[in-house]
Amino acid sequence: MRGRIAGPSAATRVARVAQLASRPPRTPHTAKLLAVALISVAVAVSGCNYNVVVGSPTSGSQGPGLMTEVPIGATPWPNGTTGAYGLRIDPSLMSSIPSIVGGNPLVEAAQVEVGALDDPQYAKAFAAFYVAGIGAITDLNWVQVSIAALKVDAQTEDFYTAWRDDWFKASCSQADGIGSTSVTTINDWKVDMATCNGGVDAYALSLDNGILISIVDFGPRRLGHQLIAGIN
């Protein structure tokens, strides 16, 4: 696994990209079939109280076929929650990254998390998951980051490569496709990066402790780059 080493039409495309988070591959061989986007409406309700009722509240785990409620509040699940297929939304994963980037706090993206809770593919690869972001899709700068704790069987180079490729493809699918890819070093972390033709950047990196981080950002402040630079 990788780890640390010693005008208007364009705006419309960018707005659509901000709503994407890819599904984890079932296996490396079928990964390309599962690069499916989750639609996040978190930015649309940013700063507001919301209550998206799509299932029974606070049960911790529901049976298959039932969906998950997002409670009212800026932090819907302060102590985490577990979905129907065993995936846990775990706020403690935020300890892997800085909570403030460029002077702005990362805010939980609960609607993206709901999609993960109710999708069995996430639970096959991930033990825990958390998504947060800064900014709305109409802003000059925004970023969204997902943090996943991999199950032991997914802690392989093959899985990482499949995830990275699907993440880049999904992130750039609404931003005129992938323009280029590269491997760079940020704060001693080896980082895979894709630059989309539409101006969006996507990042993927695997930490030394089974944590997989996926980022998509837009804007001259390069908030995704700043986020990685703050990982200790």
Residue 6 half-sphere exposure, CB side, CA atoms within 13 Å? 0
Q: How many domains does the chain have?
A: 1
d(CA 99, CA 94): 7
User: Amino acid letter at 41?
Assistant: V
* Residue at 197 is within a domain: yes
* Residue at 2 is within a domain: no
Query: What is the per-residue pLDDT across 198-213, written as a single tens digit (0 to 9) for each?
Result: 999 999 999 989 999 9
Domain around 46: 8-229
Residues 6 or more apart whose CB falls under 8 angstroms from that of 165 comprise 31, 32
The torsion angle over the Cα atoms of residues 99, 102, 107 and 111, rounded to 10 degrees, is -120
Sign (positive or negative) of CA dihedral 41, 46, 51, 57: positive
Confidence of residue 10 (pLDDT cuts 50, 70, 90): very low
Confidence of residue 151 (pLDDT cuts 50, 70, 90): very high
Q: Where are the beta strands (DSSP E) in the chain?
A: 81-82, 88-89, 100-101, 104-105, 107-108, 126-134, 142-150, 178-186, 189-196, 201-206, 211-218
* Residue at 140 is within a domain: yes
* Residue at 157 is within a domain: yes
Tell me the pTM. Answer: 0.75
Q: Where are the alpha helices (DSSP H) in the chain?
A: 8-17, 110-117, 120-125, 157-172, 223-229
The percent of residues above 90 in pLDDT, for the chain, comes to: 49
* Residue at 198 is within a domain: yes
Given a contact cutoff of 8 angstroms between Cβ atoms, the answer to whether 200 and 171 are in contact is: yes
* Residue at 1 is within a domain: no
Please determine, for residue 225, whether its predicted confidence score (pLDDT) is greater than 80: yes
d(CA 141, CA 96): 22
Mean pLDDT of the chain: 75
Tell me the longest C-alpha to C-alpha distance in the chain: 49
Query: What is the per-residue pLDDT across 61-88, written as a single tens digit (0 to 9) for each?
Result: 444 445 566 665 656 777 888 988 999 9
d(CA 45, CA 76): 13
Chain centroid to Cα 8, Å, comes to 26
